[in-house]
């Protein structure tokens, strides 16, 4: 047993982190919001250029991919990252160009009470996930209604008025595997966003002074920060475990491992987002400070591939 990052994995993750810091600095998010959350195709191609979408065909594992997606989540990079990655991995011949960044692929999961598509205006292909089948449709031809004020301005959304039709491109086991991988990579992004929220809050707590000392010296603040770290670290262990099992290097039940990861990573990201705002006090409630962006993204990601509560129910079903 060796459940610790290898040197290669450390180098991979560190490399992606520096790339994200250089190409997607956190300050670059606010201008994107001003455009209505439109994707920058050049930036998307740069993501493809470092190999984000083609990891699996380049021989990297699901665990390696989770480490990469943790960094994408940490940087709050907008766009249909998991859908394009999964299309490049599982639908390579059907949807050419996903791996090279030429084709931006989104995925809408048919859901109650509404089915929503993200980044619709920038998509080249839209996949519709319903039950155990995935169909592909032309994003310009589906009846939708734009959401004027999206919760996360970096994740523009449309309500899908109809989610039928299209050509079925995947069914059965492929879709089940797709959903497992999608859930784990989303969990990895949630873990990354959790740690970024912690870093921001800790930085603030060290510098902000009240009552004559940094607020981070007060135990009430310290304990909130420690609780954030506990949630994030536990979620990280669960996420890596699910990825390692999906790679075939574990003996756990796959669906159970995936549900544990998605459930706890969802809880962690929402918790760290919330407490990050609290530690910032009034500034945390402003548009300017990034604390709110982590929380908003956490809300978006929780709804991908089943939210925390749905995965708890799935676990109950397996007991």
Partner 1 sequence: MYQILSRVAMDLRYTEQEQTFRAELRAWLADVLPSVAPEPHRDDWKNRRVWDTGWQRMLFDAGYAGINWPKEYGGRGATPTEHLIFLEETERMRAPYVGMNFVGLLHAGPTLVAEASTEQKAHHLPSILKGDHVWCQGFSEPNAGSDLASLQCRAIRDGDDYVITGQKIWTSFAHIADYCEMLVRTDTEVPKHRGITWLILPMDAKGMDIRPLRTMEGSTEFCEVFFDEVRVPVANRVGDENDGWRVAMVTLSFERGTAFVSEMLQSMELVRDLADLAKKVTRNGSAAWDDTGLRRDIAHLSGELDALWSLTKRNISEAQRTGFVGVGGNVFKLAYSELRQRLGELSLRLLDRASLSLDDVHELPTGKHVHGRIHALSIGIAAGTSQVQRNIVAERTLGLPKDR
Pair 62, 70: CB distance under 8 Å: no
Q: How far apart are CA 208 and CA 30, in angstroms?
A: 23
- Residue 17 interacting with partner 1 (CB under 8 A): no
Find the binding residues for partner 1 in span 30-49 (CB under 8 A). 49
Residue in 46, 176, 177, 214 binding partner 1, rule: CB under 8 A: 214
Q: How far is the CB of 20 from partner 1 (least distance, A)?
A: 14
Pair 312, 263: CB distance under 8 Å: yes
Pair 267, 308: CB distance under 8 Å: yes
Task: Tell whether the torsion through CA atoms of 294, 296, 301 and 306 is positive or negative.
Answer: positive
Q: How far is the CB of 303 from partner 1 (least distance, A)?
A: 18
Q: How far apart are CA 103 and CA 87, in angstroms?
A: 10
Q: How far is the CB of 265 from partner 1 (least distance, A)?
A: 10
Residue in 115, 144, 186, 259 binding partner 1, rule: CB under 8 A: 259
Find the binding residues for partner 1 in span 163-202 (CB under 8 A). 198, 202
- Cis-peptide, bond into residue 188, ω within 30° of zero: no
Residue 113 in 3-state DSSP?
Answer: coil
Buried b (16+ CB within 10 A) or exposed e, 97-127: bbbebebbbbbbbebeeebbbbbbebbbbbb
Residue in 18, 217, 285, 287 binding partner 1, rule: CB under 8 A: 217
Residue in 29, 39, 107, 241 binding partner 1, rule: CB under 8 A: 241
- Residue 2 interacting with partner 1 (CB under 8 A): yes
Residue in 92, 124, 218, 278 binding partner 1, rule: CB under 8 A: 218
Please report, as ranges, the residues that interact with partner 1 according to CB under 8 A: 1-9, 11-12, 15-16, 49-51, 58-61, 63, 198, 202, 205-206, 213-214, 216-219, 221-223, 225-227, 229-230, 233-235, 237-238, 240-241, 244-245, 247, 249-252, 256-257, 259-261, 263-264, 309, 311-313, 315-316, 319
């Amino acid at each position: 047993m060796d459940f610790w990052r290898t040197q290669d994995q450390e180098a991979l993750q560190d490399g992606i982190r520096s790339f994200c810091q250089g190409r997607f600095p956190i300050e670059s998010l606010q201008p994107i919001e001003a455009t209505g959350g439109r994707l920058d195709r050049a930036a998307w191609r740069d993501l493809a250029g470092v190999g984000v979408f083609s990891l699996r065909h380049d021989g990297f594992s699901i665990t390696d991919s989770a480490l990469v997606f943790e960094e994408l989540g940490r940087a709050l990079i907008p766009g249909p990252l998991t859908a394009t990655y999964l299309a490049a991995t599982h639908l390579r011949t059907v949807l050419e160009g996903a791996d090279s960044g030429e084709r931006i692929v989104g995925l809408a999961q048919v859901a109650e009470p509404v089915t929503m598509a993200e980044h619709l205006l920038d998509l080249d292909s839209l996949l519709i996930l319903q039950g155990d089948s995935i169909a592909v449709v032309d994003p310009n031809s589906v009846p939708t209604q734009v959401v004027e004020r999206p919760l996360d301005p970096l994740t523009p959304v449309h309500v899908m008025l109809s989610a039928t039709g299209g050509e079925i491109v995947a069914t059965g086991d492929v879709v089940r595997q797709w959903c497992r991988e999608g859930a784990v990579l989303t969990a990895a992004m949630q873990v990354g966003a959790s740690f970024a929220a912690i870093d921001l809050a800790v930085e603030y707590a060290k510098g902000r002074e009240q009552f004559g000392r940094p607020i981070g010296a007060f135990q009430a603040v310290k304990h909130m920060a420690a609780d954030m770290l506990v949630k994030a670290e536990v979620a990280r262990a669960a996420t890596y475990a699910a990825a390692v099992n999906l790679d075939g290097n574990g003996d756990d039940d796959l669906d159970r491992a995936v549900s544990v990861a998605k459930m706890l990573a969802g809880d962690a990201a929402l918790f760290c987002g919330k407490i990050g705002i609290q530690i910032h006090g009034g500034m945390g409630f402003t548009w300017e400070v990034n604390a709110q962006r982590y929380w908003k993204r956490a809300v978006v990601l929780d709804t991908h591939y089943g939210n925390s509560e749905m995965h708890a129910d799935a676990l109950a079903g397996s007991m």
